Amino acid sequence: TQLLEQSPQFLSIQEGENLTVYCNSSSVFSSLQWYRQEPGEGPVLLVTVVTGGEVKKLKRLTFQFGDARKDSSLHITAAQPGDTGLYLCAGRGSNDYKLSFGAGTTVTVRA
Amino acid sequence: NAGVTQTPKFQVLKTGQSMTLQCAQDMNHNSMYWYRQDPGMGLRLIYYSASEGTTDKGEVPNGYNVSRLNKREFSLRLESAAPSQTSVYFCASTDRVGGYTFGSGTRLTVV
């Protein structure tokens, strides 16, 4: 099992503020994915990053994969209450198609 | 809508009772997974099936069994439920290179 550590565990901010969530590991991943989970639902895929140094943008969300493919970050600009949820990172090893999940970051955006 | 369907959504069991959680996907995915989600511990893999006819243990298989009935269906069985198995259970499927598609979960309480 490849350990993925997410920080912070909890994040509460005011609408309009920016936030960053981090996902770190000592292992190298062939790809890394970010999911968002809302209460009472299963996680939903947001993005997959594959190349070291890759940056992907999804509206106000920016995802970055570290150069060494061991870490990733999720940045939300001008957060809205609809961004509230549990954000999970998940990595896929080079020789393993299974995903290893981080414990998640609970984001609360107050109106 | 295409996706992963889990039944039941909620269940309360007494210690020692047995039950089967059902999962079906209609995306023609080869791989299917069962996870449990507990507060602060993220998603932990119980069992997975890389393809029809194969099943393998994940991180936390003790107390569980699985059956890959056909390409669409993957069930999880608790033979003798214990309070430690109180959790939210998620089924997921993937085509291996893409993201996971999750069901909406089964909330199980063992008293």
Contact B100/A102, CB-based, under 8 Å? Answer: no
Specify the DSSP element, H or E, that contains B21: strand B19-25
Helix, strand, or coil (residue A77) = coil
pLDDT digits (tens, 9 = 90+) for B65-77: 999 989 999 999 9
**Per-residue pLDDT for B2 more than 90?**
no
pLDDT at B109: 97
User: Which residues of chain B neighbour A45 with C-beta distances below 8 Å?
Assistant: 99-101
pLDDT at A44: 96
The whole-number mean pLDDT for each consecutive block of 10 residues of chain A, a chain of 111 residues, reads 86 97 94 94 95 95 96 97 96 81 95 95
User: Which residues of chain B neighbour A106 with C-beta distances below 8 Å?
Assistant: none
pLDDT at A96: 73
pLDDT at A43: 96
User: Which residues of chain A neighbour B29 with C-beta distances below 8 Å?
Assistant: none
The dihedral region occupied by A16, where left means phi > 0, alpha psi between -120 and 50, and beta the remainder, is left
- Arithmetic mean of pLDDT, B89-97: 89
Picking from A3, A48, A98, A105 by the largest number of B CB atoms within 10 A of its own CB, the best residue to mutate is A98
Query: Over chain B, what is the mean pLDDT?
Result: 94
- Arithmetic mean of pLDDT, B87-101: 90
Contact A48/B45, CB-based, under 8 Å? Answer: no
> Is B97 an interface residue toward A (CB < 8 Å)?
yes
Contact A42/B103, CB-based, under 8 Å? Answer: yes
Q: CB–CB of A96/A50 below 8 Å?
A: no
Determine what percent of chain B is predicted with pLDDT higher than 70: 98
Q: Min CA distance, B44 vs chain A (Å)?
A: 8
pLDDT digits (tens, 9 = 90+) for B26-83: 999 999 999 999 987 889 999 999 999 999 999 999 999 999 989 999 999 999 999 9
pLDDT at A2: 61
Contact A42/B99, CB-based, under 8 Å? Answer: no
Residues A32 and A11: their CA atoms lie apart, in Å, by: 22
pLDDT at A93: 82
pLDDT at A1: 56
Structure tokens given for B3: 């996706």
